[in-house]
Structure 1
């Protein structure tokens, strides 16, 4: 059985813990996960017990923090040592790397490119039609990234539109009330907006060649000292994707349980189930392209070094004597 050292600064498992016991001869370890409020594969694997089950197999307890509304506060908690694993997007990771260079991505969700997009009111039927219109985005995140991609495709610049930097809940209200003409968003915000009367989907992520994905993030320290725990969590994400593929209604149910409107939850549940893939060389190239766009568009003050940020969890080695190494 794999032996793992106790995570530095980890508290004992408490509320939300998987409550597992370490294998004979192995000290107890706790991995603290900070899920997002959105129903990505990590959130689902935590809620249905698959994460706790796979971690228990390598002598690791699971402790779960209250959910985070976005990656930024989750990354702050990660940097402060309050949690060990969080979720976000490729774009959010790029934006955070300037201030938290220790971040590493260990798992990547691949979907059909229909969970992110740009919606608009009225007669806007394509990206070119955004010229002269107001567009809500979350500053520096998925929404702004999608808008910049779309403007590039149409030969437009940010000066050709009125960019409204709004947090997703505020953007939802502004868009529903018609105070902004368009909105670049994702997940249940996108699906909810698509259901509004007279709203058109101007472009989806797949139409724009987006490299932005849902990613699962930890620190280099956790990976280097505890690869068995990271590998086990990766396996739990794969198992969760398999479970969703076998029963897609699980995702709709999770969204309903989290408070989503029944129509929105059903639409999200009908989307193609994402796959989990390692943060391999292909993802590293995607990450580099996103970082380059951020620099070219002036969305971050300077170049960000993404070397080594992608860590392939399928290549982490477990050793019987506890000498586990990436």
Structure 2
């Protein structure tokens, strides 16, 4: 029994098993994954570059868009380099510290991303419902403070997850059936009592998403009420155009996040490879599409991006 009794505060190494049952297709799967990742990096870095170069874009709405781009670069970069190493070269091992670090930064970026979406909803509310005071209420300095508060909230809420994981015992099974260290995937391979870990992870997920969606819903409820009081169809269209990009990003961000969280915990009938593919696409597709959505819908940003791309 001693050969199987490897329990300690944690193993020195884990094995990330990639996509179980689809090992033969790893190279083929890596093609869309790497393509989406490169497009995501190019799109988000383009947003950062254009806003940094153009003084006319250095205002709250675009500063928030830059913060969103940074979190999306961070989220996908936490996962994709290691995932591609598994798919391309079969480099499956990861240290315990590396796994916990990946979990920490992945969820910090994700929770910060959610906070920025809330701030963007508040920005849209002020822009539509109180436009005359917009410049005084939402200054660049205030946006920076709100972003910092979102980051601090994320660190404080996420930090207990890797700390609680570090205390779990892991016996003979050090194989994680995933392409990256997802919190619940690591919890499932522990041979100890994981009730605290599971409960904390689930509560934090629903508290963050529930609170943030409530605040976003409140903002849009007030926006709808203000728009309905306006008789002008032109004003209705302008308000809709102001919010369209943000609504698309909200749907792209929260829908797959909730689906991934719920299926990993409760979706017993869903095949493992389906869940893992969706969990990776959730970290790739929104960061890839969000800069495109804002670039297409927001005329001012679209014109500035076109100005630089035409020079290349």
Q: Under a length normalisation based on structure 2, what TM-score does the superposition of the two structures give?
A: 0.27
User: Which of the pair has more CA radius of gyration?
Assistant: 2
Q: Under a length normalisation based on structure 1, what TM-score does the superposition of the two structures give?
A: 0.26
Indicate the structure with greater helix content: 2
RCO higher in 1 or 2 (8 Å CA, sep ≥ 6)? 2
